[in-house]
Amino acid sequence: MKRLVEEETVIRIYQGNPEDSMTLLHWYLELVNTGELDKILFPFNHSLGMFMQYFNDFSKVRMIYVPDDNNKIKFAAWGTAVSPGVIFFSIWLKPKLRSAKEGAQITLDIYNEIFKLFHVVQGITKQERLLKVHKKLGYKVVCKVPQGWAGIEDAWLVQMTKDDFLAACG
């Protein structure tokens, strides 16, 4: 697969140490201040305590991120293995990266790594406008789930296999 940018992506695994926790705290503040928190996490994870607890429960959720030059998160991905070979997965990109080659390259790099470990990636979104982006990556829309976003908003369940990803992006 040809790279869109020359720079290699530096991927960090969130481990809950003090430096990572400060990085996570700064990301939380950014998400709250920009109104993005509501777009990526269910409401019960919106308080600072629940947010930190969610990402520090390593028995359920694992997170990776790409830092910027100031050690702030510019890309984050997190997931939960739901069965051997299947991960429920979410990603977030800093808004200025969403239409940039660097953002696209980071996204492709992350999915290439995920598909070394899992055969199927599943996700959920309440943002209908993002379904086009999901499809471009190779996701298939499985179904619309009435009140699937924490029982308060409709959402769409999406799923992608490694073959789907390679067909769309390979």
CATH number for the domain harbouring residue 153: 3.40.630.30
Assess if residue 7 is contained within a domain.
no
In order along its 170 residues, the chain shows pLDDT tens digits of 665 556 777 889 999 999 999 999 999 999 999 999 999 999 999 999 999 999 999 989 999 999 998 999 999 999 999 999 999 999 999 999 999 999 999 999 999 999 999 999 999 999 999 999 999 999 999 999 999 999 999 999 999 999 999 999 98
**Cβ atoms < 10 Å from Cβ of 165:** 19
Assess if residue 124 is contained within a domain.
yes
Provide the pLDDT for residue 2.
Answer: 60
Rg, Å, the chain Cα set: 16
Please state, in angstroms and rounded to a whole number, the distance separating the CA atoms of residues 75 and 105. 11
The 10 Å CB-count burial string (b at 16+, else e) for 71-103 is eebbbbbbbeeeeeebbbbbbbbbeebeeeebb
Assess if residue 2 is contained within a domain.
no
CB 27 within 8 A of CB 41: no
User: How many structural domains does the chain have?
Assistant: 1
Provide the pLDDT for residue 8.
Answer: 72
Provide the pLDDT for residue 9.
Answer: 76
Assess if residue 107 is contained within a domain.
yes
Q: Domain of 41?
A: 12-169
Assess if residue 98 is contained within a domain.
yes
Please state, in angstroms and rounded to a whole number, the distance separating the CA atoms of residues 152 and 161. 29
Assess if residue 144 is contained within a domain.
yes
Determine whether 32 is exposed, middle or buried from the number of CB atoms within 10 Å of its CB (0-12, 13-18, 19+): middle
Assess if residue 3 is contained within a domain.
no
Provide the pLDDT for residue 3.
Answer: 56
- In the chain, which ranges are E strands? 12-13, 62-67, 73-83, 86-93, 120-125, 140-149, 153-161
Assess if residue 111 is contained within a domain.
yes
